[in-house]
């Protein structure tokens, strides 16, 4: 089986595949200082809780936007699974043509999402990933990764608002009763949710116009709050919470020796 691991700034997503079938997936909090043995203990506990034998893992693929995690995970993979992991980065076959001015600047998570999205629609598309940052990634109809946009994530935007404005309370990110808030909490929910929906829709529409594709551009959302925003958005068409781990599976497949 193939174990894929995507390390984000806030959350780590793990998936276990048997062929194309996702057997199990997990989501845990990111700890930037987790050691090799702590990774091993975490993985052992996750596998044991689901009754899965760690010896069943024959390959590991990982992507990370947290550099220290790459080294610890490399060692954990070889120590606890006996395999050298495939790490998404320069030189890895993705099946996409990276047209960024400096391809090395593109985050591994953005490349992985783009691979999965293009494989899914086989045409022009935009991925909106709601993580610590909200990223917009544009893929042309011929499989070229064009770039996109990066905005502050909805969570850190709300946190900054509460931190910098002494009288504003902490509120849950949820749909308000109406856009016109009648109290402070409802006003904050309206501003955060509908303001962010407007940000997403406005950026997506601008990006589609600049992509100048002949075919309709598919818009796929992923990440923790994708469902909440998509429910109010006029541009997001599909939500796929497993987009990143599916992209890792595809990249692993594309880097296997041909028989």
Residue 90 confidence (pLDDT): 84
Single out the catalytic residue among 6, 109, 129, 137.
109
Are 146 and 177 in the same domain? yes
Average pLDDT over residues 153-179: 89
Greater confidence (91 vs 57) lies with: 57
Are 22 and 103 in the same domain? no
Count of domains for the chain? 2
State the average pLDDT for the chain.
93
What's the CA gap between 214 and 123, in Å, rounded? 10
Average pLDDT over residues 160-174: 88
Work out the burial of residue 127: count CB atoms within 10 Å of its CB; fewer than 13 is exposed, 13-18 middle, 19 or more buried.
buried
Give catalytic status of residue 109 as yes or no.
yes
Confidence bin at 257 (pLDDT 50/70/90): confident
Chain center to CA of 216: 23
Average pLDDT over residues 14-38: 93
- Check whether 251 has a pLDDT greater than 70: yes
Are 74 and 147 in the same domain? no
Are 187 and 116 in the same domain? yes
Are 183 and 126 in the same domain? yes
- Check whether 258 has a pLDDT greater than 90: no
Query: In terms of Cα–Cα distance, which of 64, 48, 53, 51 is closest to 14?
Result: 64
Are 154 and 235 in the same domain? yes
Confidence bin at 170 (pLDDT 50/70/90): confident
Structural domain includes residue 258:
no
Structural domain includes residue 257:
no
- Check whether 259 has a pLDDT greater than 70: no
Are 189 and 140 in the same domain? yes
Assign residue 189 the CATH number of its domain: 3.30.420.40
Are 223 and 115 in the same domain? yes
Domain end among 87, 110, 135: 87
Domain end among 32, 59, 87: 87
* C-alpha distances out from residue 10 to 50, 148, 155, Å: 24, 21, 11
Are 55 and 169 in the same domain? no
185-213 pLDDT tens trace: 999 999 999 999 999 999 999 999 999 99
- Check whether 91 has a pLDDT greater than 90: no
**Domain hosting residue 55, numbered range:** 2-87
Say if CB 115 and CB 245 are below 8 A apart: no
Are 109 and 81 in the same domain? no
12 bridge partner residues = 7, 28
- Check whether 236 has a pLDDT greater than 70: yes
Are 61 and 160 in the same domain? no
């Amino acid at each position: 089986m193939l174990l894929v691991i995507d390390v984000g700034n806030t959350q780590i997503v793990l998936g276990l595949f048997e062929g194309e079938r996702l057997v199990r997936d997990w989501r845990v909090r990111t700890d930037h200082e987790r050691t090799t043995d702590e990774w091993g203990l975490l993985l052992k506990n996750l596998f044991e809780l689901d009754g899965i034998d760690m010896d069943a893992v024959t390959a590991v693929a990982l992507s990370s936007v947290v550099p220290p995690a790459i080294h610890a995970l490399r060692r954990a993979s070889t120590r606890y699974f006996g395999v050298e992991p495939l790490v998404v980065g320069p030189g890895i076959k993705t099946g996409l043509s990276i047209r960024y001015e400096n391809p090395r600047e593109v985050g591994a998570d953005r490349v992985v999402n783009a691979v999965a999205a293009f494989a899914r629609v086989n045409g022009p598309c935009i991925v909106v990933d709601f993580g610590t940052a909200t990223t917009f990634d544009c893929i042309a109809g011929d499989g070229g990764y064009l770039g996109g946009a990066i905005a502050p994530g909805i969570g850190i935007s709300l946190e900054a608002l509460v931190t910098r404005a002494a009288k504003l309370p902490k509120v849950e990110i949820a749909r308000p009763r109406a856009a016109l808030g009648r109290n402070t909490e409802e006003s904050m929910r309206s501003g955060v949710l509908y303001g962010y929906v407007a940000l997403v829709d406005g950026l997506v529409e601008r990006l589609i116009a600049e992509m100048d594709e002949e075919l309709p551009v598919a818009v796929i959302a992923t990440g923790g709050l994708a469902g909440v925003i998509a429910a109010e958005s006029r541009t997001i068409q599909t939500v796929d919470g497993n987009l990143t781990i599916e992209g890792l599976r595809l990249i692993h497949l594309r880097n296997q020796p041909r028989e």
